[in-house]
Structure 1
Amino acid sequence: MEYQEVQTITPAEVEKLLREGKAISIIDVREDEEVEAGIIPAAKHIRLMEIPERMSELEKGTEHIMVCRSGRRSENACMYLQDQGYKVKNMVGGMLEWEGDTN
């Protein structure tokens, strides 16, 4: 089975969208203890392994920006969701490169 290439967005671009007040959907797929160290304020936390059973929480017509620590797990989440017909982008560099606010 052939995967479509996953579209990407940089942490700086995500921060700019948030600063501009754009309504964007950010999904953080990290583990609980990673999220406790800081999460993008607008992000929703759905651990990577919970994505299949929590997909119904994601609006199909909305573009979702997937986030993890470095961009690897979020890329896997993107490939999976893209396969299910969702519009997704992977935040490359992940939280390691995030310079914006965190909660």
Structure 2
Amino acid sequence: MIPEITTEELKQKLENGEKLALVDVREDDEVATGMVPGTKHIKMGEIPNNLDYFDKDKEYIFICRSGGRSGNVCAYLQDQGYKVRNMVGGMLEWDGKVE
């Protein structure tokens, strides 16, 4: 089971000033339309080559357009022993700030 966070819960945490590790796994042309502020961009296909970026003691929240790709990335990283959370609904449901 992949832990999830809603767009509303994430927005609330960011507004409360929580320090979160956010990763957007969309393609370059998709992130060009805007990302959740403070998000690191690592394309889904590049995640396996970037495992050294991730720390097993931290939780990462993954974001994509609708929640499907980020869910796949979460499943992959969870299998590797990482703490993950999928933002359900993705950027389609995000109504907070973008940068």
TM-score bracket for this pair, using the shorter chain length: over 0.9
Post-superposition offset of 1:63: 0.5
Which one-letter code corresponds to 2:43 in the other structure?
R
User: Which residue number corresponds to residue 21 of structure 2?
Assistant: 25
CA distance in 2, matches of 1:8, 1:75: 9
Structure 1 vs Structure 2: percent identity of aligned residues? 51
- 1:1-103 matched pairs, under 5 angstroms: 5-103=1-99
Q: Report the TM-score, using the length of structure 2 for normalisation.
A: 0.98
Q: Report the TM-score, using the length of structure 1 for normalisation.
A: 0.94
Which one-letter code corresponds to 1:25 in the other structure?
A
What's the Cα RMSD here?
Answer: 0.5
Structure 1 residues 35-91: Cα deviation after superposition (integer angstroms, max 9, x where no partner): 000101111000000000001111211110000000000000000000010000000
Gaps of 5+ in 2: none
Gaps of 5+ in 1: none
Post-superposition offset of 1:94: 0.1
